[in-house]
Amino acid sequence: MKYISALIVISLLVTASGCSQKKYPPRDTRSDIIRYSGIDRAWALSEGQGVTVAVVDWQFDMHSKTAGMFVHASSVVPEEPIGAMKPWHGGWMADLVHQVAPKAAIMPINARSLKHRGYQDFLIQGIKYAADHGAVAVSSSMGLVRQTPELREAIDYAEKRGTIFVNVHPEGIAEADKKARPCAAGECDARIVHTGIVSAAAHPLKPEAARDVYTWPYDLDSNFQDGWGFSNAPPVVAGVIALVKSVNPALTPQQVRGVIARTGSEREGFKVLDAEAAVKVAVALGGH
């Protein structure tokens, strides 16, 4: 029976990787993402007590086990209350935060609509809402955002209230023909934590210079779809920020970003999130 199960897992991995010839480690959706970044070892010092992480997304599951940790749940989309959509992406992102920081409160903010094509305006509102309600980090996995005065103002607003914005892709900037392209190293807003994933079939062999830190790509629950996507990274990093702020609430957003960046471990050229090291540094800087 174990032999048959192993064959099934191998078959699924081959299907997921498509034509790629690079070999990837077998999936363990419940533990890989935790162990890979030392999150389980960080729990000896912090599980995120006393802090809140905001998740700006859509399709939240308001009746899941994770929903028991929800606070200040809201929608910034007019006439579209949170929980109105069939649960999927937002529920998945909130679950990731909960898996990483099991005692942190989670603030779900619906910021995407089936009636409106864009989401950046809603994201900006969500960032401000998260800051107004005390989130230490606000995670977004909705996609590329553009560098605009409005976004910069929202990040300024959040920074002054101690809230860090963690995003899935380096934000786009307009070129002469007004087309957007992802920002390169030195062009990105340094106040945003730009996250990525490693060991996924579609991922480049070299790290992207615009990304600050990488995480493990696998989803934590096989009931969710699209477990190979970049969406996983921001909620994982935001969860680790919760662990850091829980042991040292006095750290500023700039200090937290510095802790996350400098404690990352180098793996084949990729700077990989190291939760245990980050929490230990936070404690050494004056935490409890």
The domain spans of the chain are 28-284
DSSP string for the chain: -HHHHHHHHHHHHHHHHTT-----PPP-TTTHHHHHTTHHHHTTT-S-TT-EEEEEES---TTSSGGGGB-S-EE-STT--TT-SPSSHHHHHHHHHHHHSTTSEEEEEE---SS-S--HHHHHHHHHHHHHTT-SEEEE-S---B--HHHHHHHHHHHHTT-EEEESSPPEEE-TTS-EEE--TTTS-TTSEEEEE-S-TTS-SS--TT-SEEE----S-TTSS-TTSGGGHHHHHHHHHHHHHHH-TT--HHHHHHHHHHTPEEETTEEE--HHHHHHHHHHTT--
The pLDDT value given to residue 31: 66
pLDDT given at position 115? 85
Q: What is the pLDDT of residues 43-58, one digit of tens each?
A: 999 999 999 999 999 9
CATH 3.40.50.200 is right for the domain spanning 28-284: yes
Determine the pLDDT at residue 219: 46
Q: What is the tens place of the pLDDT at every residue in 182-201?
A: 888 889 999 999 998 876 66
Residues of the chain with pLDDT under 50: 1-25, 219-227
pLDDT for the residue 213? 94
